[in-house]
Amino acid sequence: MPLRISFDLEDADLRHFETLARETQDAARARSAAQIVAAARQVLERAERAQLAQFMRERFAGLRLMLEMLADDGWQLGEGDRQRVINALACFAEAPRGDVPALQLLEHAIMIELVSRDLQHDVAAYADFCRFRERHRAQRRPGTSEQAHAQTLENKRLALQARMHERRLRDLDRAGGAVRRLFALFRL
C-alpha cells in the first residue's frame, strides 16, 4: 500500500537551495562544460547504485533525461538552450555539504526537482521528441528514404523546440518574485 508523504519548502529552505545553487554555480565557472556534465553523471551513477525510494528514483530519472538531452545528436540543442541545461547541471558539480551520503542524495533530489521545474518545457519537448522518434522508427515504411526520415525528424524537432521557447517565455512573463529569482540564479 503506497504512502504519500509531502513537505513544503519554506522561504528559508528555498534560500538554502538558492545559496547552494549560487555556490555550486560560482565554483563551476572554473570548470568546462564537459567537467560539469561529468560531475552530474557521477551524481547520477552514485544514485543509481544506491537503494533509493521511488520518489528519489523519479527525480534522478529527470537528471538522466537532462544529460541525455545534451548528448543526443538528433535533438541538436542550440547554444543558448544547451547553456541553460549546463547551468542547471552545474548545481551538481560540487558535492553537497555534510558527510551522510543518504542526505546528500536527498539534497540532490530536491535540487533536481527545483532545476527540473525551471527546465520543464525543455524536458517535456525532449521527451516528446524521443517518443515521436521511436514511433516514427517503428512505423517507418520500407523504402522510405533516409533523407525523408531525417526531414520528418528535423521538422518535429524544430516544432517542439519552438513550442519549448514559447512556453518558457510565457511562463517567465507570468512569473514574479521568487520564481524570477530562481530563473536569474540558474541563468535560465
What pLDDT digit, counting tens, does each position of 136-158 carry? 988 888 877 889 889 999 999 99
Note whether residue 134 is domain-resident. yes
Q: Is the pLDDT of residue 98 over 80?
A: no
Confidence of residue 2 (pLDDT cuts 50, 70, 90): low
- Determine the length of the chain: 188
Residue 52 Ramachandran class (φ > 0 left, ψ -120 to 50 alpha, else beta): beta
Give the separation between CA 97 and CA 103, rounded to whole angstroms.
Answer: 9
Q: What is the pLDDT of residue 185?
A: 47
Note whether residue 113 is domain-resident. yes
Note whether residue 154 is domain-resident. yes
Instruction: State the pTM of this model.
Output: 0.80
Rounded to the nearest integer, the mean pLDDT of the chain is 83
Note whether residue 112 is domain-resident. yes
Confidence of residue 179 (pLDDT cuts 50, 70, 90): low
Domain, as residue range, for 123: 11-185
Note whether residue 115 is domain-resident. yes
The amino acid at 41: R
Total domains in the fold of the chain: 1
Burial class (CB in 10 A: 0-12, 13-18, 19+), 43: buried
Note whether residue 4 is domain-resident. no
Note whether residue 107 is domain-resident. yes
Residue reference for cell 528559508: 12
Indicate the DSSP class of residue 64. Answer: H
Note whether residue 6 is domain-resident. no
Q: What is the pLDDT of residue 72?
A: 97
